[in-house]
Structure 1
Amino acid sequence: MQSTEKIACIIVAAGRGSRMSTQNDSSPKQYRDLGGKTVLQRTLEAILSSPQVDLVLPVIHAEDGDAYQNAASTITDPRLIAPVTGGATRQISVACGLKALEEQAPRYVLIHDAARPFITPAVIEDAVSALQNGAEAALPAVPVADTLKRADANQHVQETVDRTHLWAAQTPQAFPYSLIWEAHQEAISQEIDSFTDDTALIEWQGKSVTITAGDPQNIKLTTLKDMTNAQEQIAMKNLADLGDIRVGTGYDVHAFEDGDAVILGGISIPHTQKLKGHSDADVGLHALTDAIFGALADGDIGSHFPPSDMQWKGAASDQFLKYAVDRVHKRGGMIAHLDLTLICEAPKIGPHREEMRKQIAQICDLPIGRVAVKATTSEKLGFTGRKEGIAAQACATIRLPFED
């Protein structure tokens, strides 16, 4: 078919990633978790963030169909098409992808490693620009900065290698589709399948490869240390994206009435009385809910759950707190810390403190280390000192994206 102006991208995701295997985890690295998403999902999303890419074709292992579907299940971009099955080597897998694109016949094709999730549109733009300006192939790369040593089999240094004009190759490597497909077909016809780099096929054919701007962050995840560094990079980026740090406070009071237990901090504590209120009167969760609303500048618990509305009669207060947390998530934010202080003479809070922390953490989907529960008395002063009720103060720290 006649070539169109389309730019396709092949994502090579058929490898096994053996250098990252451990006794407890031998799964392919492209399907491992990286900050709440698989490596492959992050790579697909990064490639699709480039407006220049018209088509994305993953090449996967024959055994990874279910893993791929799970990784790509949240991606709805129509540019991502159904994957094809790769082969025993990277070169064979790329050839499978190129063959699958014959009907599409794109003008240019990018070939990218699934284990490079930090690719940016700028790297793609530079590579494509080189092709548009006549390059036969474009290779994103960064200059080698470290001193290089050549050693023998016993790891004894033999010489220092001149690093002048040395570059560390990255992907996506970019080619006119017809040129790279012809190179792969020639290699297949000569029963050569060991090329680990697509520009090497172009070099093998005596054609030129142009180096374009790579990115030091565009690393390939190869070892467990690489994965640890990538996890830290994602965590730092997530925090940087949530730079609007806010603090809200909440306060609530409920009186005692006849009963045999109080609902406090999401748990039931046996007592000679219970707390009086329209809902279950959990003074602790009410204060936390108001603190979150305060941090959001989003009204208070009464405006969201008015006591005049009978549907909240006797309602469990955990749903109020879950609702407030959900309001944070809908704003693209996260709860950083919750601090609750209960003020009462009785019941004793100390024996139940850890259970409250666990319950609040579970309600808010937080690590328990981000939830504090404290208790104090009012030295027998005031209504709490007279054992007429319980008061609660709360502080919520949240992180939100900066708004325009």
Structure 2
Amino acid sequence: MSPSAPLDALVVAAGRGTRLQSAEDTAPKQYLPLGPRPVLAWTLLALAACAELRRIQVVIHADDGPLYAAALDTLPPALRARLAPPVTGGDTRQASVRLGLEALAAAGSAAGARDGHQLEDGGAPAFVLIHDAARPFLPLAVIERMLAAFADGHEAVLAALPVHDTLKRANSGGVATGTVDRQGLWAAQTPQGFAFPRILAAHRAAAAAGLTGFTDDTSLAEWAGLSVKLVEGAADAYKITTRADLLRARADAARVPAGLPQDASAMTDWSAYPDIRVATGYDVHAFEPGDAVILGGIAVPHERKLAGHSDADVVLHALTDAILGAIADRDIGAHFPPSDPKWKGAASDQFLIHALDLLAARGGKVAHLDVTIVCEAPKIGPVRDAMRERIAEICALPLGRVSVKATTSERLGFTGRKEGIAALATATVRLPAGQDEA
């Protein structure tokens, strides 16, 4: 897999999961709550930790539109922007995967035409990861091992774990009839990754032949003649199947910092990002008549508002400039000129998301954000935590990696005279090695 080869993911979330339903948990298992968000949302967050992933296609049941929309409401905007519109699944998992693959091909063609360029195969991905919605704690390291296998020339890759338990064969009465040699046996997990044209052709061929009994996508790929490379999966990537699995997942979710999955949180393996960069940003806006100021993505009641071409959010503007500075990519005005009427009154979270996307395109991650707000009024203390939470949500960061501070200028200067508000931000970002020429 070359760095320019587009990678998409397909999440299968059309099942009913009736074995887990109870008096208090009546929804399909992919929508059952794990702390602050449902299972599916955790799964999407785990996949989105992969910076190389371009787009995520979710396959849902025809009855689950409202549940899916509610799950998306728990996700940061930057992640939602990477989701293709959901597609309705079929009667079997195999049919649902095929419909999802067809949707990716169609969406890729539409995106290529809209953007004025065509990727290989009309904008469809070069590679696709197919993942179960009910595996919410997928470590990023598993995806990275799969991408390495693609780079080595493999067209089908399976995340799996070697079998260590003794295996028994039993008759219909539950009596053991022998011991199975476990040497060379692996337990299949997901994601299962493929060269997109090959797996799409395999699914189409199986459908045309009326074959519906494949238990997973690698078994279908083997039927179509693909050689499947095994890479090490992870015990954390277990599938929620039983009630005991659900209770385990809820316990695991409760232990994750800030309610985020491991690879979107402080538990990222930072050794993979040795290039550490720190940059600052600064912004200021004057007051004008109004009844609230927008700071850190939230509206703070005040006797005036901030004047600006956009919503004049000095906090998000300063953070945007700090991230742009860390990757040496000009400043906010170069990306969003105040002379462009397109940005008149625009919400500043889209500026910050743009900077985050530029960072992600270089394989980087935000490690920490710090902002200081300078003003006499309004009071920042009562809304500090709300600002931190909103910034953390936009950036898909745990709360412990976002700092908001406030100070006055002792009634000196324009802030001391209550003529406006200033913000100073610092962003610490981490990038893979070899970014010096980026």
Give the match for residue 76 of structure 2. Answer: 75
Letter in 1 for 2:241: T
Letter in 1 for 2:176: V
Give the match for residue 27 of structure 1. Answer: 27
- Cα shift readout 1:293-339 (whole Å, capped 9, x = no counterpart): xxxxxxxxxxxxxxxx9x9xxxxxxxx9x879869978937xxxxxx
On the 8 A contact 1:89/1:194 being kept in 2, the answer is no
Give the match for residue 132 of structure 1. Answer: 151
Give the match for residue 362 of structure 1. Answer: none
Letter in 1 for 2:153: G
Shift of 1:79: 1.4
Structure 1 residues 153 and 49: CA distance shift in structure 2, 3 A: same
On the 8 A contact 1:52/1:125 being kept in 2, the answer is no
Aligned mates of 1:242, 1:109 — CA distance in 2: 27
Query: Which residue, 82, 87, 95 being the options, matches 1:84?
Result: 87
Note the 1:109-124 alignment, pairs <5 A.
Answer: 109-124=128-143
Shift of 1:24: 4.6
Query: Which residue, 198, 210, 218 being the options, matches 2:217?
Result: 198
Query: Which residue, 231, 248, 255 being the options, matches 1:236?
Result: 255
Aligned mates of 1:80, 1:184 — CA distance in 2: 23
Shift of 1:75: 3.5
Letter in 2 for 1:165: G
Letter in 2 for 1:75: P
Letter in 2 for 1:87: G
- Cα shift readout 1:222-276 (whole Å, capped 9, x = no counterpart): 1110010111112223399899xxxxxxxxxxxxxxxxxxxxxxxxxxxxxxxxx
Q: TM-score, normalised by structure 2?
A: 0.54
Aligned mates of 2:191, 2:388 — CA distance in 1: 37
Letter in 2 for 1:98: L
Aligned mates of 1:179, 1:242 — CA distance in 2: 37
Shift of 1:94: 0.4
Shift of 1:16: 0.5
Shift of 1:82: 1.1
SS of 2:193's equivalent in the other structure is strand
Give the match for residue 374 of structure 2. Answer: none
SS of 2:235's equivalent in the other structure is coil
Letter in 2 for 1:112: H
SS of 2:105's equivalent in the other structure is coil
SS of 1:54's equivalent in the other structure is strand
SS of 1:165's equivalent in the other structure is coil
Name which of structure 1's ranges 324-333 and 76-85 shifts more when overlaid on structure 2. 324-333
Matched-pair identity in % = 42
On the 8 A contact 2:25/2:32 being kept in 1, the answer is no
Shift of 1:121: 1.7
Shift of 1:131: 1.7
Query: Which residue, 74, 93, 97 being the options, matches 2:96?
Result: 93
Structure 1 residues 7 and 155: CA distance shift in structure 2, 3 A: same
Give the match for residue 308 of structure 2. Answer: none
SS of 1:155's equivalent in the other structure is coil
Q: TM-score, normalised by structure 1?
A: 0.59
Q: Are positions 1:141 and 2:144 aligned together?
A: no
Letter in 2 for 1:162: D
Structure 1 residues 195 and 242: CA distance shift in structure 2, 3 A: closer
Aligned mates of 1:25, 1:208 — CA distance in 2: 40
Q: How many residues align?
A: 259
Aligned mates of 2:201, 2:388 — CA distance in 1: 53
Give the match for residue 8 of structure 1. Answer: 8
Letter in 1 for 2:189: Q
Structure 1: tracts of 5 or more residues without a match:
244-308, 312-319, 334-402
Aligned mates of 1:31, 1:223 — CA distance in 2: 15
- Cα shift readout 1:21-56 (whole Å, capped 9, x = no counterpart): 225533100000002210000001110111121110
Give the match for residue 240 of structure 2. Answer: 221
